[in-house]
A and B are shown apart, each in its own frame.
Chain A
Amino acid sequence: MNKIHVTTNINGDPVEYLCEPQETLLDVLRNNLQLTGAKEGCGSGDCGACSVTLNGRLVCSCLVLAAEAEGQEVTTVEGMADGDKLHILQKKILEHAALQCGICIPGILVASKALLEKHPDPSEEQARYWLAGNLCRCTGYDKIINAVMDAAAEMRGA
């Protein structure tokens, strides 16, 4: 079995890994690099729990081959906080009690950050459609949407 050598950047750090041709980026993040923040809820791009960004574009890492990360920039939930300083979105999710079990939250955070980078002043409807690819079974989304809208307002003010 020939492994592929990949040189990439994850959360600002240079990373090299060997992967098999069929392995997904999610597999390598979780199994090879111990970045277990991204979750596998479906493996078919339907739940969004594995959301990461690839060169700033929001993707399901279960639908990206690990070999495709060559020369790209990957960011995951582990890259959101700055040292011990939480990102505003992380703080707002906590303050709004917007998580119950929390399994969807890494994906929700990565997707929300991508939303606010592209649309700093989203309407609530825009936020709901942007996050429509991130399934949450616990919250009914209400508090998540409130947290994202609140974070957006604070980030615009900051």
Chain B
Amino acid sequence: MALDTEKREFKILGTRPLRPDGVDKVTGRALYGADMSAPGMLTGKILRSPHAHARIISIDTSAAEALQGVKAVVTANDFAKASNSFMQDGLDNCMARGKVLYHGHAVAGVAAVSEAIAKQALKLIAVEYEVLPHVTEILDAIKPDAPVLHPDRNFKRLPEGTAANISHTTDFGHGDVEAGFAAADLIVERTFKTEATHQGYIEPHACLASMGPDGKADLWCCTQGHYNVRGMCADYLGMNISQLRVTASEIGGGFGGKTTVFIEPVALALSRKAGKPVKIVMTRDEVFKASGPTLSSLTDVKIGMTKDGKITAGYAMLRYQCGAFPSGTIDLGAMSAFAAYDLDAVHTEGFNVMTNRPREAAYRAPGAPTAVYPVEAVVDELCLELGLDPIDVRLLNAADEGTKASYGPTFEAIGLKATLEAAKAHPHYSAPLGPNQGRGVSAGFWFNFGGNTSVSLSLNDDGTVAVTEGNPDIGGSRASISMMAAEELGIPYENIRTIVADTNSLGFNDVTDGSRVTFAVGLATIEAARAAIKIMCTRVAKIWDIDPEAVTWEDGYAKPAGENAGKYDPMSLAEIAAIANKTGGPIAGHHEVNADGAGVSFGVHLADIEVDPETGFTKVLRYTVFQDAGKAVHPSYVEGQMQGGAVQGIGWALNEEYIYGEDGRLQNAGFLDYRIPVASDLPPIDTVILEIPNPGHPYGVRGVGETPIVPPLAAVSNGVSRAIGKRMSALPMSPPKILKVIKG
């Protein structure tokens, strides 16, 4: 769906109304995953593996089942065979089949009349394990003699003799890279390491499942995509999709980590067996051990530059550790790495390698931050060595409309240059720095998704409007959807209520991911509104007894299209709605689409960092985010995405990491030892929104949610490196690591 050709003055887009779910969320009324109860509800708990890698010899549940108050126990045997290997991986991650693949992998589930009894029952389940050698690090996992996680499956393998833990390989590029390097005045080649981080949503996974003896089931859960939950759970329980209705609760953060299932199929299986509703709520310990994390990475980057700053060639070899099951995030990483640059010669390759860690889940721009960080760090090093301004160099090499991206496609209108220019002109960029301070610059990129979307829009007889969409609202999307409906219909924002429907009440919707919701649901809402407008115009034409083509819609009113149409008093939406039952019945519009044209997104971040040379302690002094939003529907929530993404990236850069012991067990499964940024760690996060319209959306909207987590890793790393005068090449940059580099 293309950008509207007629340029319009927006009346509602760009304003900052209160969000419709706001009062519920400041009063405690809003119901999240764990806030729902049902009569006769049981408490479900999950038994998890103490080992990183072991064969399950036997599971004896008889003592647990015999405990008074226990109503059901389930293991892998209580689930159906999944419909394909990808789905089977999802199921095997929810409940280990044959082997446990990581510390915390689920082995059995229990439902009992109280939490205390459920916990007691877990202790009565006897699991006999044959402990196997484990592997948690990238280089160990590719050694020819490494323990293999899935020895009975065939995955792609790198040409050289590596262990069969590599699940995906990738290779992109164009041009003559060797000739490019030969033309360079300076080449920098370096290896960078990042550690696995967790999405860190504050709400643990929670669900309430209820299945009757007739096989019909209802599931309430916190998820980014309840249609996806429905599909996976139905597959795993051997149900028809129509028998399972899933309702998405309010969601307490997801960031990609709630795009799949963990406890939901287990709760359903327990409910089926017990004949009662079952609620499962993960503990924080379980969230860290068995949900989430993102990949860890080891990446070589080589870039050549002329002395005036032109990049002659870029090469990256990316190695992504993806936990216990196959993952293809390496594709997204390899495609993102050089996306900000217009290069004649570029080559990216890499692989995902499996280890005895929890299965990698999507995390905000999955694959991109860890690919862009090494590239942006090497560009920064080249700028320093050659005495060039880092923004000037990026402008000189920046991708633009018509650039052939390193991963193939040719960009349409994009906002990278405008964003770089805005950063350069901002007072932040020219502000003086003190001793032990450094300013880091990084650009960042994300593809943005569109995808399958259904929206229904109905006129109420008092002239208000109900919008029904199917994507969980993760950060204010009901506000932006209501705003777009109001803009298109020409009625006040307050006259619209947008709700997120359950899976039975609306057509299919893809997951809330890929920064797709404001773009794709917005687009479908505009189309649904246009469908309703068409019906309204037809009804008015009937009343006026003129041709429907002679009626036009303007600012909430049906009007004669021109003088020839005749003279009639305009009719408002409310007037048309009030008599709908006399003109042909209820008036509604709906739209179903697999939306494309999402429009890629670029951002530029500036980070001022001070490093204490005695302790290696870092302080973020000042931080500014510049990003192209296409059109900011609700600027406050666009700023919020930019700020929140930046701070997650700052945490990734400075504090956060999964730490494994020699025994393959996670050492820091809690917020005390896995430290996400707190308010006192941070300065204000300033934001500058740019608006370069997306050609693929009627209002020019681009997704904004993911791009802001991409630049901070390099922006902070470049700031630290400039502050200490040495190049940092591993995250997180905790004080001991920085001290080690300072002391060389």
* A interface list, Cβ under 8 A from B: 20, 22, 30, 34-44, 46-47, 49, 76-78, 80-81, 86, 90, 93-97, 99-106, 109, 125, 127-129, 131-145
Contacts and interface: CB of A to CB of B under 8 A. Distances in A.
A139 B34 contact: no
Interface string B274-287: 00000001011000
22 contacts: A36-B35, A37-B27, A39-B202, A40-B281, A46-B284, A46-B670, A93-B26, A94-B23, A100-B253, A101-B201, A102-B21, A103-B201, A127-B679, A128-B680, A132-B680, A133-B678, A135-B676, A137-B199, A137-B253, A139-B647, A141-B678, A141-B682
B247 interface: no
Given A99-B22, A137-B648, A139-B644, A44 B671 contact: yes
Contacts of B643: 139-140, 142-143
Given A96-B636, A101-B474, 6 more contacts: A39-B32, A41-B284, A77-B27, A97-B640, A135-B678, A140-B643
Contacts of B28: 35-38, 76-78, 106
Contact of B670 (A42, A90, A140): A42
B203 A101 contact: yes
A38 B19 CA distance: 21
A3 to B, nearest CB: 12
B252 interface: yes
B204 interface: yes
B25 interface: yes
B220 interface: no
Given A77-B28, A94-B23, A41 B474 contact: no
B34 A40 contact: yes
A112 B685 CA distance: 20
A99 B25 contact: yes
A101 B251 contact: yes
Contacts of B34: 30, 36, 39-40
Interface in B17-73: 18-19, 21-23, 25-32, 34-35, 37
Specify the main secondary structure of chain B where it touches its partner. Answer: loop
* Residue from A100, A102, A131, A144 having most chain B Cβ neighbours under 10 A: A102
Interface of B: 16, 18-19, 21-23, 25-32, 34-35, 37, 116, 199-204, 250-255, 281, 283-284, 474-476, 634, 636-637, 639-641, 643-644, 646-648, 670-672, 676-682, 684-685
Contacts of A127: 679
Contact of B644 (A46, A102, A103, A140): A140
A80 B684 CA distance: 27
Contacts of A96: 636
B27 A40 contact: no
A158 B25 CA distance: 25
A47 B685 CA distance: 21
B636 A46 contact: no
Contacts of B641: 100
B676 A100 contact: no
Given A80-B27, A135-B676, A140-B646, A46 B671 contact: yes
Contacts of B116: 20, 22
B679 A131 contact: yes
B476 A100 contact: yes
B32 A103 contact: yes
B27 A140 contact: no
A12 B307 CA distance: 72
A130 B157 CA distance: 52
Contact of B682 (A80, A94, A100, A140): A140
B468 to A, nearest CB: 21
Contact of B647 (A44, A49, A109, A141): A141
Given A101-B474, A101-B475, A136-B202, A39 B26 contact: no
Contacts of B474: 100-101
A141 B640 contact: no
A154 to B, nearest CB: 16
A49 B202 contact: yes
A44 B18 contact: no
A97 B636 contact: yes
Contacts of B202: 39, 41, 47, 49, 101, 103-104, 135-137
Contacts of A44: 284, 670-672
Given A94-B26, A137-B253, A142-B685, A47 B679 contact: no
Contact of A128 (B26, B29, B682, B685): B682
Contacts of A35: 28
